[in-house]
Amino acid sequence: MLDKLAKIEDRYEQIEQKLCDPKVIADREQFTKLSRERAELEDLVPAYRTFKKLLADIEEYEESLESDDPELVELAEMELPELRAQRAELEGRIKILLLPKDPNDGKNAMLEVRAGTGGEEASLFAADLFRMYTRFAEGKGWKVEMMSSNATDSGGFKEVIASISGKEVFSHMKYESGVHRVQRVPVTESQGRIHTSAVTVAVLPEAEDVEVDIDEDRDLRIDVMRASGPGGQCVNTTDSAVRITHLPSGLVVVCQDEKSQHKNRAKAMKILRARLYDKMLAEQHAERAAARRNQVGSGDRSERIRTYNFPQGRVTDHRVGLTVHRLPELLEGNLDEFVSSIRAHFQAEALKASESD
């Protein structure tokens, strides 16, 4: 591990020198590529340098244990336990930083929230979850853009899709994909009985044009129609809604929120690219499943990942066994505890798998 870290430190120093070169600064493509590479190493290299200093200090104190000076021996005996504990903690952190990074972690994300079983109650909870994610994103300084929605008369959503852009959005949001279950008394329930409903969340990495090859003339069928709202009411009187069908895969995307046909088409294409990219990644992961044992969890969106129990104010994430009794606070977008716990869990699982390899 130390040899590998030494090579990484050398590369980091080379990159820093190149980034000061006027020729590299003038070459925008090369400068951007090197800047990204440096950013990927900015946590690892300082950790390695601290680790080297710790190893040197430990070696020095261990040599002091053989000294004829009793005060020096006493000092070494006092300092060594703390230094060894720091070494173990930092070594664990470095091993996690050395894990292969998900190339999509730095990407923006497409968030899709759909009502599942539970009828109107499920659509209301879909709206609650979408609001929760919107507030979480706002707290991170990310931008949320509504792409498509299918609202209900009661203020819920049968489906809502949004683009979230900002720093490392996908790395924070990707583990939210799955089935979210809610247990509460619906406002329409006269007997006070608790109902269980479900909402499906999908978080897709936003695809760039070069990552998904679409022949718009051959692969797409684009239909234009009049937009409609809840209860069949007309949203506007022009044929602005756009439905795009990707013929090779059968994927269909409909956008009607904008009054401009051009804007709806652009949003629909953005959603389609994200779904095609996600489909491509899923197929690649399935092909490499046996070889990639560090890929934790199946990622199957049919899995129930979290339960929100309103009567008890309790939220449980079933993947990591984390339960908190702050449901209202969570729904206001305070997701950091869950996100950090889940990310740490998946990193630890990946680390165990890599060590067994």
Q: Where are the domains of the chain?
A: 2-97, 109-210+296-352, 212-286
Q: Is CATH 1.10.357 the classification given to domain 2-97? A: no
CB atoms within 10 A of CB 1: 11
Highest mean pLDDT among 101-105, 109-113, 272-276: 109-113
pLDDT over 60 at 245, yes or no = yes
Collapsing DSSP to helix, strand or coil, 6 comes out as: helix
Higher pLDDT, 319 or 232: 319
Question: CA torsion 348→349→355→357, rounded to 10°?
Answer: -160
**pLDDT tens-digit profile of 27-54?**
888 888 898 788 888 888 999 999 999 9
Residue 303 pLDDT:
64
Contacts of 90 (CB under 8 A, 6+ apart): 47, 50, 51, 54
pLDDT at residue 290 is higher than 50: no
Residues above pLDDT 70, as percent of the chain: 88
Q: How far apart are the first and last CA of the chain?
A: 15
Closest CA to 170 of 339, 317, 319: 339
pLDDT at residue 211 in the model = 67
Q: Could you give the CA distance from residue 344 to residue 335 in angstroms, rounded to a whole number?
A: 14
Write down the pLDDT at residue 213.
78
Rounded to 10°, the helix 44-64/28-41 angle is: 40
| pLDDT at position 229 | 59
Q: What is the pLDDT of residue 299?
A: 35
Residue with tokens 């997701």: 335
Who's near 25: CB < 8 A, 6+ residues apart? 19, 31
Q: Give pLDDT tens digits for 293-316.
A: 333 333 344 468 999 999 999 999
Cα–Cα distance, 290 to 168 (Å, whole number)? 28
Q: Measured between alpha carbons, how far is 281 from 295 in angstroms, rounded to an integer?
A: 13
Confidence grade of residue 82 (pLDDT, cut at 50, 70, 90): very high
Q: What is the CA radius of gyration of the chain?
A: 26
CATH topology of domain 212-286: Double Stranded RNA Binding Domain (3.30.160)
Look at residue 141 and tell me whether its pLDDT is greater than 90: yes
Cα(144)–Cα(63) distance, integer angstroms? 58
- Digit-coded pLDDT (tens) for 178-226: 999 999 988 766 677 888 999 999 998 887 755 677 888 888 898 888 7
CA distance 194 to 164: 33
Q: Does residue 143 have a pLDDT over 90? A: yes
Per-residue model confidence (pLDDT) at position 56? 93
- For residue 114 the two structure tokens come to 């759909």
What is the per-residue pLDDT for 10? 92
* Backbone dihedral region for residue 167 (phi beyond 0: left; psi -120 to 50: alpha; all else: beta): beta
CA distance 31 to 22: 10
pLDDT band at 124 (very low <50, low <70, confident <90, very high): very high
Cβ neighbourhood burial of 174 (10 Å; 0-12, 13-18, 19+): buried
Q: Can you tell me the distance from the alpha carbon of 265 to that of 276, in angstroms, rounded to the nearest whole number? A: 16
Tokens representing 138? Answer: 């706002």
Name the H helices within the chain.
2-18, 22-26, 28-41, 44-64, 70-97, 119-139, 169-173, 216-219, 261-287, 327-331, 336-356
212-286 matches 2-97 in CATH topology: no
Q: Which CATH number fits domain 109-210+296-352: 3.30.70.1660, 2.130.10.10, 3.40.640.10, 3.40.30.10?
A: 3.30.70.1660
The pLDDT of residue 267 is above 70: yes
